[in-house]
């Protein structure tokens, strides 16, 4: 969407604060020995208390209220009573929701407990690349140039990007124009960021894979060459200068 007045800005801020608060609280709540379903239920309760509704559940009938992916799962992991969190797990939580007609989206990968498997480097790379990408976004900038920046920064650190997972416009629904904010230079995409537009910017930084494939459950995605992936995501409003980070309170960069 494009924000045209103060009421729309306030609506997006309120929805964004709801998903940001929920994501941060879920990260803090996650504990070794907990099931991903228990963690999802906690997030669902928070969203409900804030008057928000789960976006993947509303939009796609997703079998959970948030997406929780663990280790080799890249994204869209289904919360389960059988999936028990362990020391050193690489966890990704993606929280998106609707509140009073406005939709917002954010996500974060993190390591649970001690980093016994050495995932911190990948997680930190994803965070740093997202920060650099957002700092370079303003009205008139080519979307493909930001994709090129993300891929270049990933390669510098010895990583790859997932080419079939992208950021996207958001605001009056979960996915809007621009429909693809890729993590690489898509030479066919000549679209530019527009001032006052709302966009979910996401990094998909991986150790081995370049494409994500869907498992037999119809939701969970893993890498075409295995390995691990870290994702971080903010919903922003594009300006003529530095973007307004609407989901800043999720604490991704703290």
Q: What is the pLDDT along the chain (254 residues), one digit of tens a residue?
A: 999 999 999 999 999 999 999 999 999 999 999 999 999 999 999 999 999 999 999 999 999 999 999 999 999 999 999 999 999 999 999 999 999 999 999 999 999 999 999 999 999 999 999 999 999 999 999 999 999 999 999 999 999 999 999 999 999 999 999 999 999 999 999 999 999 999 999 999 999 999 999 999 999 999 999 999 999 999 999 999 999 999 999 999 88
User: Does residue 1 sit within a domain?
Assistant: no
Nearest to 119 by CA among 232, 229, 233: 229
Radius of gyration of the chain from Cα atoms?
17
User: Does residue 24 sit within a domain?
Assistant: yes
Residue 238 CA to residue 246 CA, distance in Å, equals: 10
Residue indicated by tokens 């609407």? 246
Give me the half-sphere count of Cα atoms (radius 13 Å) on the Cβ side of residue 66.
35
Residue 192 CA to residue 4 CA, distance in Å, equals: 18
Tally the domains of the chain: 1
CB 183 within 8 A of CB 147: yes
Tell me the sheet residues that pair with 244: 237
Structure tokens given for 175: 């996915």
Domain span holding position 78: 6-250
User: Does residue 20 sit within a domain?
Assistant: yes
Binding site residue list for substrate: 76, 175
CATH of the domain at 68: 3.90.230.10
Binding site residue list: 76, 94, 105, 168, 175, 202, 233
Binding site residue list for a divalent metal cation: 94, 105, 168, 202, 233
Those residues with Cβ within 8 angstroms of residue 45's Cβ, 6 or more apart along the chain or in another chain: none
User: Does residue 50 sit within a domain?
Assistant: yes
User: Does residue 86 sit within a domain?
Assistant: yes
Q: Is the pTM of this model over 0.95?
A: yes
């Amino acid at each position: 969407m494009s924000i045209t007045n103060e009421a729309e800005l306030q609506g997006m801020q309120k929805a964004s604060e709801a998903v940001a608060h929920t994501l941060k609280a879920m990260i803090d709540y996650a504990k070794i020995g907990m099931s991903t379903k228990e963690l999802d239920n906690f997030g669902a309760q928070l969203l409900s208390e804030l008057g928000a509704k789960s976006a993947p559940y509303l939009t796609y009938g997703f079998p959970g209220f948030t997406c929780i992916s663990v280790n080799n799962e890249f994204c869209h992991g289904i919360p389960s009573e059988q999936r028990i969190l362990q020391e050193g797990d690489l966890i990704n939580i993606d929280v998106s929701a609707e509140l009073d007609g406005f939709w917002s989206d954010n996500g974060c990968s993190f390591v649970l407990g001690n980093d016994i498997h050495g995932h911190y480097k990948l997680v930190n790379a994803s965070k740093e690349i997202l920060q650099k990408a957002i700092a370079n976004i303003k009205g008139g900038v080519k979307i493909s140039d930001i994709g090129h920046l993300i891929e270049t920064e990933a390669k510098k650190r010895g990583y790859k990007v997932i080419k079939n997972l992208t950021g996207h416009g958001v605001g009056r629904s979960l996915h809007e124009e621009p429909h693809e904010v890729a993590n690489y230079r898509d030479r066919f995409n000549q679209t530019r960021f527009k001032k006052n537009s709302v966009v979910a910017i996401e990094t998909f930084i991986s150790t081995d894979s370049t494409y994500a494939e869907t498992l037999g459950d119809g939701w969970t995605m893993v890498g075409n060459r295995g390995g691990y992936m870290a994702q971080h995501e903010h919903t922003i409003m594009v300006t003529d200068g530095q973007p307004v980070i609407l989901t800043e309170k999720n604490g991704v960069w703290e």
